[in-house]
Amino acid sequence: MSKIVKYEYLHNNKIILYDDNKKIFIKNKKRYDLDKVYTYLDNHGIDNYLKPLRITDREIYFDYLDSLKLDKDEMAKRLIYNLSIWQNKTTIYRKIDKDKLKEEYDQYKNKIIYLENYYYTLQDMIESKVYMSSCEYLFIRNVSIIYKALNYSKNVLEEWYKLSLNETKERYVMCHGKCQLDHFISSDKDYFISLEKAHIGRVSEDFICFYNHHYDEIEMESSFRFYQHRYKYRKIEILYLTFNLLMPDKIDIYPSSLDKSVELSAYFEKLDYTFLFVSEYQKDNHHNKEYEFN
């Protein structure tokens, strides 16, 4: 029988090392019904997640796996491939509740109106000044792309809502909830890990998460083309993806500092890149009516 040699701690989790070189990773249990997620995946024939060895009231035990040393583009390709497996095997169709749809539409619309008012007010305040700080100048010089993104998001939101009103059913899948490279391992095979936020949701939710975490680290256009080859979006899903990617976040430009200037520059660079990304997948599918936007 193997004996414990050492305990190690990693981000509030524990690793147990045994004398036969076996390692066990013990993670704090953050969701009481996580076993139901594992059962759901098993029932749908999904085996590309790291299965626990044991689950207690407070902890979950896993084999500790050493990940292969792969670059981020290769890891992204593997993640996308495995995401498509999840989605193909867990796709379901749900009747669209028009009342809930209207609530969701209003939430997005009100968010856009709030952001427009926020940025118009901020712009007016800055332009009334005699002298601008470096962050204020950077904001004024680039604020037009924010308005462009808000206007585009508003138009796509309207198209998504009108199309949804004419649909009767919508596709849903099991979403990972934290779909990013930190929660994916390539070892003896590929595994998703950290399923605490797994849930049934819209098909584009996981890719939105993936994009927001990695748009500046990997070749996103080719990753999306590969993804669409494996799991093709319908028009309604492309529209939902588009306004969620392009709707800008609220950003505070104060206090003015070098760090804030770097943050602002990254914010505008993401908006610029996202417009290019959206235009690329529109261009790739310009012969397919499902991808045409008004």
CATH of the domain at 148: 3.90.1200.10
Residues 126 and 250 in one domain: yes
Q: What is the mean pLDDT of residues 225-236?
A: 96
Single pTM value for the model: 0.90
Q: For residue 244, give every residue at least 6 positions away whose Cβ sits within 8 Å of its Cβ, in sequence order, or none.
A: 204, 208
Q: What is the mean pLDDT of residues 44-53?
A: 94
The tally of domains found in the chain comes to 2
78 within domain boundaries: no
**What pLDDT does residue 26 have?**
86
Residues 261 and 166 in one domain: yes
Contact 109, 157 (CB under 8 A): yes
Residues 146 and 220 in one domain: yes
Could you give the C-alpha distances from 222 to 9, 226, 233, 234, in angstroms and in order? 37, 6, 16, 19
220, with CB counted inside 10 A (0-12, 13-18, 19+), is buried
**What pLDDT does residue 231 have?**
97
Residues 27 and 142 in one domain: no
71 within domain boundaries: no
81 within domain boundaries: no
- The pLDDT-based confidence of 175 (bands split at 50, 70, 90) is very high
Tell me the pLDDT tens digit for each residue of 83-112.
Answer: 999 999 999 999 999 999 999 999 999 999
Contact 48, 86 (CB under 8 A): yes
Residues 91 and 58 in one domain: no
**What pLDDT does residue 1 have?**
60
Residue 104's domain comprises 86-291
130 within domain boundaries: yes
Phi and psi for 32 in degrees, rounded to 5? Answer: -70, -30
Residues 42 and 122 in one domain: no
Residues 122 and 48 in one domain: no
258 within domain boundaries: yes
Residues 250 and 165 in one domain: yes
70 within domain boundaries: no
Q: What is the mean pLDDT of residues 62-82?
A: 92
38 within domain boundaries: yes
Select the more confidently predicted residue: 163 or 5.
163
Could you give the C-alpha distances from 29 to 23, 35, 41, 55, 59, in angstroms and in order? 19, 11, 18, 8, 5
Residues 169 and 276 in one domain: yes
69 within domain boundaries: no
Residues 172 and 54 in one domain: no
Cα–Cα distance for residue pair 41/90, rounded to 1 Å: 8
